[in-house]
């Protein structure tokens, strides 16, 4: 430490414990997540925190566009998986449901600044494209927003 001019610290544990927690979410509007480590069941059922369409899409996206489990993920993916688990989502079951054998995934790389996974929708599940597939993308917000043409509003409507 003799050559250090600055020492970084954070009180949330991101650097020291390799842990992150979702404290805000944008779902048709910005929402602060109270009690970020507690159960969300009551909040999801009794408020306009996030509508069912947005929550279902979020569960699908996080479940299918992450690589591992809560125990074996990096800090960012772990925070994502922990959040949807708190929303009563079984991400392993979601992966079994939507990721067929030989599914298509574009791994994250620094040039693309994003990761994408193609999922297969259930028969009869609504699709804006008329196809039975959906592409979920995660990555740098400025890159993702640049490619967006639609979004869900606060009521979960496109």
According to the model, what pLDDT value does residue 105 have? 96
Q: Tell me the whole-structure pTM to 2 decimals.
A: 0.80
Q: Identify whether 137 is part of a domain.
A: yes
Q: How many helices (H) and strands (E) does the chain have?
A: 6, 5
Range of the domain at 60: 14-147
Tens digit of pLDDT for each residue in 46-96?
A: 455 678 888 889 999 999 999 999 999 888 899 899 988 988 899 999 999
The residue from 10, 71, 122, 123 that is catalytic is: 10
CATH number of the domain residue 86 falls in: 3.40.1110.10
153 is catalytic: no
Whole-number average pLDDT of the chain: 81
In a domain, 1, yes or no: no
Quick check: is 156 in a domain?
A: no
Describe the crossing of helices 91-98 and 75-86 by its angle, rounded to 10 degrees. Answer: 100
pLDDT above 80: residue 5: no
Domain count, the chain: 1
């Amino acid at each position: 430490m003799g050559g250090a001019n600055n020492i970084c610290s954070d009180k949330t544990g991101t650097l020291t414990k390799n842990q992150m927690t979702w404290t805000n979410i944008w779902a048709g509007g910005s929402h602060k997540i109270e009690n970020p480590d507690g159960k969300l069941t009551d909040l999801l059922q009794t408020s306009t925190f996030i509508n069912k369409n947005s929550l279902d899409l979020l569960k699908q996206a996080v479940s299918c566009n992450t690589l591992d489990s809560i125990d074996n993920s990096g800090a960012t993916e772990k925070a994502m998986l922990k959040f949807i688990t708190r929303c009563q989502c079984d991400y392993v079951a979601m992966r079994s449901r939507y990721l067929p054998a030989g599914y298509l995934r574009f791994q994250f790389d620094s040039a693309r600044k994003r990761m994408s996974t193609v999922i297969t929708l259930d028969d009869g599940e609504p699709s804006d494209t008329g196809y039975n597939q959906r592409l979920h993308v995660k990555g740098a917000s400025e890159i993702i927003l640049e490619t967006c043409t639609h979004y869900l509003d606060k009521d979960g409507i496109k």
